A and B are shown apart, each in its own frame.
Chain A
């Protein structure tokens, strides 16, 4: 019978490779991470695994979609010896899914999972028509996505929001993770007692920089927390309504990668302006008309850090679900 990825052979190969790399006692894998990638475009994955390498031993199964030819599997281990002379390994199993697409089917790789530890599926492939997360309902503890990879992020997020209550597998969106430092900055910038009243009289918010999904999620968060209503619509400017029925216009300008910088401008109905911007020197500043300048350490979380945060966390981010849940 044909075997795409023979579990016994793979385990032997992993053991052998690990022994060759380092004969010392290895630390136990903490989780399984199954990553779906398209073709060879996996720079993000490499960056993330390099970051995890000396921090969390894990089994990583990479499913390369559309690899052509026959579906095949290979295994290797990347190991590092820690200060206690124990070995931390990332065991990598690469499944190249051939023309028959057999490698994409969970049945191909589920026998390769280590039992009794969490299974995370990271969908790093195209999100358009992706079978998420339902395909992994009986297998994964959580599914990671990046809504920024969708060709129409607003439509994708709207679709996800609409299915939220039926989803059985918790999800994490790395686009949301990237906004986390910005949410904290915003919350802090309005936290001084004399600034809190401004939150009730915001008339407009303009976000320069960032990608559509990040900015949409940021606006969703503001909307949820400040009890605004209205939905994001196609285009870059929406009008929402605040809790006393006044309009709040939100706009996204100059889309770009968030880590290239941002400027968020809040204007209140009483004419106060508060700008949050990245200094590009490791801190961010909030300043505005007649307001004392607020400075805070600010750094973006790269994909590796975001991944580490997520594999250590055992639940979805409540704020993400709340914000997404109030889409319409």
Chain B
């Protein structure tokens, strides 16, 4: 076939071909808060022009109801300044199918609606229990395949409860869809700062030579929430912090931090390197459960100036619940690069501050030539701030002005918000656009999911055998006292929240 030399060197924005996106569970919160706003934003920015959005849910809405509801999703705040004509043009692209998820008639109607479109994307924004039915029904009406264009499915978390259920879900998906049609979403990967980890590591010459056990002492990953479970007690009881945060979001962060440089940015090249990290995690077995893991539950306290009930008093929570609202882990990655470098993970609800960050602590210089230099707290640290302020801080040592050579740490700060005037795109915008153009780099592959569940399931099994009560921590504190032992084992401390 003739090549097209005219394409060479042109910069093409991500512009998906004409597509239809079907949102299963279109009446839910995710559609209201994230999906419709994300699609509207893509429309406004010109990344999506020829498309249709089909809502599919049980509620007896009509196309017009869906459009009215969508308009309410796009009202107030910054939407107030957007011309009504643009909203109207977007709303005209919305359609709705009212059906239960197991009713073949609903899928027949859906098939008719989406038939003219070459690109078909299905977004499963429903409870996971509905996934098998939806997948099966899509297969029955042939929407899992297409002669031209594509058919893809985006699956929301939670992706399984453990290794067995994750495998089962993968099996169900694979009965109707090929792996390259399946997009397992983790919205954390849609965040700019998370993507920037790759740029920081591999787009700069200065960091990568130091990014190994020779220069790095330890790494701390903190994802702390100040609020409690609120109205999500029911959901949280089935999940817990390890499943809700560590298996997905934190492991995604961790793999990007620890992976080897990919040869290119092909989705599978990047994901293969990430899987290698997960497969190199040293298993935490039952006998080590107390040594490397700490869990806890928040008790009544004060966060952000507001009194907070203890977890066991929250609505929808069993009074004798053993569901953890806090997890701290010490993990090790058994690779040449990371041998001997502990990775500390801390995440939970009802903590003193909402903050997400990674702290990379470098080793001390081999010889302390400055005798007056304090031996504590002076290790160089690179902090990657993810929330609420995105940016970096680098702690370096500097001389205190005066006649003697006294040294103390100072900060070099960089805030993304100060460097780039524009608001960063919402995670869902980026991720949906990627799925539309077939870029799965920021989506989780089957072996990635199964490798992370392999590690997490061992911990869950270890905890299930642990008869001890869960340590409690005051809401608004930094977590249970027991967590301090993890970092103290290598003469380190958790960073202040």
Where the two chains meet, the residues of A that have a C-beta atom closer than 8 Å to any C-beta of B are 27-28, 30, 54-57, 82-84, 86, 88, 180, 183-184, 186-187, 190-191, 193, 196-197, 199-200, 222, 225-227, 297, 299, 318-319, 322
Contact = CB atoms under 8 A, between A and B. Distances in A.
B419 A28 contact: yes
Interface stretch (B9-17, B138-146, B338-346): B9-17
Contacts of A187: 4, 6-7, 10
Residue with the highest number of chain A CB atoms closer than 10 Å, among B1, B8, B10, B50: B10
Given A27-B417, A83-B78, A184-B12, A191 B7 contact: yes
29 contacts: A27-B418, A27-B421, A30-B419, A30-B421, A54-B421, A56-B422, A57-B421, A83-B78, A83-B423, A86-B418, A88-B421, A180-B10, A180-B11, A183-B10, A184-B10, A187-B4, A187-B6, A191-B4, A191-B6, A196-B1, A196-B2, A196-B4, A200-B2, A222-B6, A226-B5, A226-B6, A297-B15, A297-B49, A297-B50
A99 to B, nearest CB: 38
B420 A190 contact: no
B224 to A, nearest CB: 21
Nearest to B417: A84
Contact of B420 (A30, A184, A299, A322): A30
A129 to B, nearest CB: 32
Q: 7 shortest A-B CB distances, which residue pairs?
A: A187-B6, A196-B2, A319-B9, A225-B5, A56-B421, A28-B418, A187-B7
B394 to A, nearest CB: 16
Contacts of B12: 184
B488 interface: no
Interface string B408-444: 0000000001111111000000000000000000000
Interface in B458-497: none
Contacts of B10: 180, 183-184, 187, 319
A99 B146 CA distance: 72
B3 interface: yes
B410 to A, nearest CB: 18
Nearest to B388: A84
Contacts of A184: 10, 12
Nearest to B9: A319
A225 B3 CA distance: 11
Contacts of A82: 421, 423
Interface string B1-45: 111111111111001000000000000000000000000000000
Contacts of A183: 6, 10
A222 B46 CA distance: 27
B59 to A, nearest CB: 33
A30 to B, nearest CB: 7
A134 B314 CA distance: 71
Residue with the highest number of chain A CB atoms closer than 10 Å, among B2, B6, B49, B422: B6
Contacts of B417: 27, 84, 86
Contacts of A197: 2
Nearest to B12: A184
A55 B423 CA distance: 9
B419 A190 contact: no
A299 B421 contact: no
Contact of A199 (B5, B49, B421, B423): B5
Nearest to A53: B421
A297 B7 contact: no
Given A191-B6, A226-B6, 18 more contacts: A27-B421, A30-B419, A55-B421, A82-B421, A86-B417, A183-B6, A186-B6, A187-B10, A191-B4, A199-B6, A222-B6, A225-B6, A225-B8, A297-B15, A297-B50, A299-B46, A318-B9, A319-B9
Nearest to B3: A196
A222 B423 CA distance: 37
Given A83-B78, A196-B4, A297 B46 contact: yes
A28 B414 CA distance: 11
Contacts of A55: 421-422
Nearest to A184: B10
Nearest to A318: B9
A239 B147 CA distance: 45
Nearest to B7: A187
A72 to B, nearest CB: 30
Residue with the highest number of chain A CB atoms closer than 10 Å, among B9, B418, B420, B422: B9
Interface string B60-80: 000000000000000000100
A200 B1 CA distance: 13
Contacts of B418: 27-28, 86
Contacts of A30: 419-421
A181 B8 CA distance: 14
Contacts of B6: 183, 186-187, 190-191, 199, 222, 225-226
Contacts of B420: 30, 56
Nearest to B414: A28
Contacts of A88: 421
Contacts of B4: 187, 190-191, 196, 199
Given A28-B419, A83-B78, A83-B423, A322 B9 contact: yes
Nearest to A26: B418
Contacts of A297: 15, 46, 49-50
A212 to B, nearest CB: 22
A41 to B, nearest CB: 28
A83 B6 CA distance: 42
Contacts of B422: 55-56
B56 to A, nearest CB: 28
Nearest to B5: A225
Nearest to A323: B9
Contacts of B1: 193, 196
Nearest to B49: A297
A299 B422 CA distance: 22
